[in-house]
Amino acid sequence: MFITFEGLDGVGKTTQVELLHNHLNQRHDVLTIKEPGTTEIGNTVREILLQKDKDLETETELFLFLASRSELVSKVIKPSLMQGKIVICDRFNESTIAYQGYGRGIGAYRVYNMCMFATQNITPNIIFYLHAPLEYLIENRFSGKHDRIENSGVSFYKKVQDGYEDWLETLPNVRKIDATQNIEKVSSDIAAYVDEFIANEKRK
Protein backbone atom coordinates (compact mmCIF):
# COMPACT_ATOMS: atom_id res chain seq x y z
CA MET A 1 0.00 0.00 0.00
CA PHE A 2 1.34 3.39 -1.01
CA ILE A 3 0.24 6.60 0.75
CA THR A 4 1.45 10.11 -0.08
CA PHE A 5 1.04 13.49 1.60
CA GLU A 6 0.72 16.67 -0.42
CA GLY A 7 0.26 20.37 0.22
CA LEU A 8 2.08 23.66 0.44
CA ASP A 9 5.11 24.12 2.66
CA GLY A 10 4.05 24.63 6.25
CA VAL A 11 0.75 22.71 6.29
CA GLY A 12 2.13 20.03 8.61
CA LYS A 13 2.80 17.14 6.24
CA THR A 14 5.95 15.95 7.99
CA THR A 15 4.21 15.89 11.37
CA GLN A 16 1.24 13.96 10.02
CA VAL A 17 3.47 11.48 8.19
CA GLU A 18 5.21 10.70 11.46
CA LEU A 19 1.95 10.37 13.39
CA LEU A 20 0.44 8.04 10.79
CA HIS A 21 3.61 5.95 10.83
CA ASN A 22 3.36 5.61 14.60
CA HIS A 23 -0.31 4.63 14.33
CA LEU A 24 0.18 1.98 11.64
CA ASN A 25 3.48 0.64 12.90
CA GLN A 26 1.72 -1.06 15.80
CA ARG A 27 0.11 -3.58 13.42
CA HIS A 28 1.84 -3.27 10.05
CA ASP A 29 5.27 -3.16 8.45
CA VAL A 30 5.59 0.54 7.61
CA LEU A 31 8.26 2.53 5.80
CA THR A 32 8.30 6.33 5.89
CA ILE A 33 10.22 8.30 3.26
CA LYS A 34 10.52 11.87 2.02
CA GLU A 35 10.90 13.32 -1.45
CA PRO A 36 13.35 14.53 -2.55
CA GLY A 37 15.62 12.58 -0.22
CA THR A 38 15.89 9.12 1.37
CA THR A 39 18.44 7.76 -1.13
CA GLU A 40 22.04 8.97 -1.41
CA ILE A 41 21.33 10.68 -4.72
CA GLY A 42 18.02 12.02 -3.41
CA ASN A 43 19.71 13.67 -0.43
CA THR A 44 22.34 15.24 -2.68
CA VAL A 45 19.63 16.55 -5.00
CA ARG A 46 17.70 17.92 -2.02
CA GLU A 47 20.70 19.95 -0.91
CA ILE A 48 21.10 21.44 -4.38
CA LEU A 49 17.42 22.27 -4.74
CA LEU A 50 17.09 24.05 -1.40
CA GLN A 51 20.32 26.08 -1.35
CA LYS A 52 19.54 29.77 -1.52
CA ASP A 53 22.60 30.61 -3.61
CA LYS A 54 21.76 28.13 -6.39
CA ASP A 55 20.40 29.81 -9.52
CA LEU A 56 18.69 26.92 -11.29
CA GLU A 57 16.90 27.01 -14.59
CA THR A 58 13.26 25.95 -14.36
CA GLU A 59 13.87 22.84 -16.45
CA THR A 60 16.94 21.94 -14.39
CA GLU A 61 14.88 22.11 -11.20
CA LEU A 62 12.30 19.77 -12.72
CA PHE A 63 14.87 17.24 -13.93
CA LEU A 64 16.54 17.19 -10.50
CA PHE A 65 13.24 16.34 -8.82
CA LEU A 66 12.59 13.61 -11.38
CA ALA A 67 16.09 12.15 -10.98
CA SER A 68 15.64 11.92 -7.23
CA ARG A 69 12.22 10.32 -7.58
CA SER A 70 13.40 7.80 -10.14
CA GLU A 71 16.07 6.60 -7.71
CA LEU A 72 13.54 6.49 -4.88
CA VAL A 73 11.06 4.39 -6.83
CA SER A 74 13.61 1.91 -8.15
CA LYS A 75 15.62 1.46 -4.98
CA VAL A 76 13.08 1.96 -2.19
CA ILE A 77 9.40 2.21 -3.11
CA LYS A 78 9.00 -0.69 -5.55
CA PRO A 79 11.05 -3.18 -3.49
CA SER A 80 9.18 -2.20 -0.31
CA LEU A 81 5.75 -2.55 -1.92
CA MET A 82 6.73 -5.94 -3.30
CA GLN A 83 7.62 -6.99 0.26
CA GLY A 84 4.11 -6.07 1.38
CA LYS A 85 5.07 -2.95 3.31
CA ILE A 86 2.94 0.14 3.72
CA VAL A 87 4.98 3.00 2.25
CA ILE A 88 4.22 6.55 3.39
CA CYS A 89 5.86 9.29 1.33
CA ASP A 90 6.16 12.99 2.17
CA ARG A 91 5.50 14.43 -1.35
CA PHE A 92 5.41 12.63 -4.68
CA ASN A 93 4.35 13.36 -8.27
CA GLU A 94 1.53 15.73 -7.37
CA SER A 95 4.02 18.10 -5.74
CA THR A 96 5.99 18.32 -8.96
CA ILE A 97 2.86 18.86 -11.01
CA ALA A 98 1.74 21.65 -8.67
CA TYR A 99 5.11 23.33 -8.11
CA GLN A 100 6.81 22.91 -11.47
CA GLY A 101 3.81 22.30 -13.73
CA TYR A 102 1.65 25.12 -12.41
CA GLY A 103 3.96 27.23 -10.25
CA ARG A 104 6.88 27.39 -12.69
CA GLY A 105 4.60 27.32 -15.72
CA ILE A 106 6.00 24.22 -17.43
CA GLY A 107 2.53 22.74 -17.87
CA ALA A 108 0.65 20.21 -15.77
CA TYR A 109 0.24 17.45 -18.35
CA ARG A 110 3.79 17.79 -19.63
CA VAL A 111 5.10 17.37 -16.08
CA TYR A 112 2.63 14.55 -15.38
CA ASN A 113 3.89 12.53 -18.33
CA MET A 114 7.50 13.04 -17.26
CA CYS A 115 6.63 12.05 -13.69
CA MET A 116 4.96 8.84 -14.80
CA PHE A 117 8.00 7.92 -16.88
CA ALA A 118 10.35 8.62 -13.96
CA THR A 119 8.24 6.62 -11.49
CA GLN A 120 7.45 3.65 -13.75
CA ASN A 121 3.74 4.54 -13.62
CA ILE A 122 3.46 3.95 -9.87
CA THR A 123 0.56 5.83 -8.29
CA PRO A 124 -0.51 6.11 -4.63
CA ASN A 125 -3.47 4.25 -3.20
CA ILE A 126 -4.28 7.33 -1.10
CA ILE A 127 -3.21 10.95 -1.51
CA PHE A 128 -3.75 13.12 1.56
CA TYR A 129 -3.94 16.75 0.52
CA LEU A 130 -3.41 19.02 3.52
CA HIS A 131 -4.92 22.39 2.74
CA ALA A 132 -4.76 25.77 4.46
CA PRO A 133 -5.45 29.32 3.25
CA LEU A 134 -2.36 30.92 1.79
CA GLU A 135 -2.63 33.82 4.25
CA TYR A 136 -2.45 31.35 7.14
CA LEU A 137 0.68 29.77 5.74
CA ILE A 138 2.39 33.08 5.06
CA GLU A 139 1.83 34.12 8.67
CA ASN A 140 2.91 30.82 10.19
CA ARG A 141 5.61 29.58 7.81
CA PHE A 142 7.23 32.31 5.80
CA SER A 143 7.96 34.75 8.60
CA GLY A 144 11.33 33.08 9.32
CA LYS A 145 14.16 31.64 7.26
CA HIS A 146 13.45 30.68 3.66
CA ASP A 147 15.06 28.06 1.48
CA ARG A 148 15.48 28.57 -2.28
CA ILE A 149 11.99 27.39 -3.21
CA GLU A 150 10.30 29.24 -0.35
CA ASN A 151 11.99 32.39 -1.64
CA SER A 152 9.93 32.10 -4.83
CA GLY A 153 7.35 34.50 -3.43
CA VAL A 154 3.65 34.69 -2.65
CA SER A 155 2.52 34.86 -6.28
CA PHE A 156 4.36 31.61 -6.98
CA TYR A 157 2.68 29.87 -4.05
CA LYS A 158 -0.70 31.15 -5.18
CA LYS A 159 -0.12 29.42 -8.54
CA VAL A 160 0.97 26.24 -6.73
CA GLN A 161 -2.08 26.17 -4.49
CA ASP A 162 -4.42 26.84 -7.40
CA GLY A 163 -2.60 24.07 -9.26
CA TYR A 164 -3.13 21.62 -6.44
CA GLU A 165 -6.84 22.42 -6.33
CA ASP A 166 -7.21 22.13 -10.10
CA TRP A 167 -5.24 18.91 -10.49
CA LEU A 168 -6.33 16.95 -7.45
CA GLU A 169 -10.04 17.41 -8.04
CA THR A 170 -9.66 15.15 -11.09
CA LEU A 171 -8.19 12.25 -9.09
CA PRO A 172 -10.33 9.59 -7.36
CA ASN A 173 -7.90 8.72 -4.56
CA VAL A 174 -7.51 12.13 -2.90
CA ARG A 175 -8.57 12.91 0.66
CA LYS A 176 -8.58 16.65 1.34
CA ILE A 177 -7.84 17.60 4.94
CA ASP A 178 -8.29 20.98 6.64
CA ALA A 179 -4.76 21.60 7.96
CA THR A 180 -5.84 24.54 10.15
CA GLN A 181 -7.45 22.12 12.61
CA ASN A 182 -5.44 21.04 15.62
CA ILE A 183 -2.80 18.37 15.02
CA GLU A 184 -4.64 15.68 16.97
CA LYS A 185 -7.87 16.13 14.98
CA VAL A 186 -6.04 15.99 11.65
CA SER A 187 -4.11 12.90 12.76
CA SER A 188 -7.26 11.16 13.99
CA ASP A 189 -9.11 11.80 10.71
CA ILE A 190 -6.18 10.50 8.66
CA ALA A 191 -5.72 7.38 10.78
CA ALA A 192 -9.43 6.55 10.65
CA TYR A 193 -9.52 6.91 6.88
CA VAL A 194 -6.48 4.65 6.41
CA ASP A 195 -7.83 2.03 8.81
CA GLU A 196 -11.13 1.95 6.91
CA PHE A 197 -9.30 1.72 3.57
CA ILE A 198 -7.22 -1.24 4.78
CA ALA A 199 -10.29 -2.99 6.19
CA ASN A 200 -12.14 -2.56 2.88
CA GLU A 201 -9.18 -3.93 0.94
CA LYS A 202 -9.13 -7.04 3.13
CA ARG A 203 -12.81 -7.67 2.38
CA LYS A 204 -12.18 -7.78 -1.37
96-122 confidence digits (pLDDT tens): 999 999 999 999 999 999 999 999 999
Inter-residue contact 69 to 115 (CB < 8 Å)? yes
Domains, the chain:
2-195 (3.40.50.300)
Percent of the chain with pLDDT over 70: 92
pLDDT above 60 for 148: no
Give the burial class of 50: count Cβ atoms within 10 A of its Cβ; 0-12 exposed, 13-18 middle, 19 or more buried: middle
Q: Could you tell me how far CA 67 lies from the centroid of its own chain?
A: 16
Sheet holding 30-34, edge to edge: 30-34, 86-90, 2-6, 126-131, 174-178
Residue 72, Cβ neighbours under 10 Å: how many? 24
pLDDT at residue 201 tops 90: no
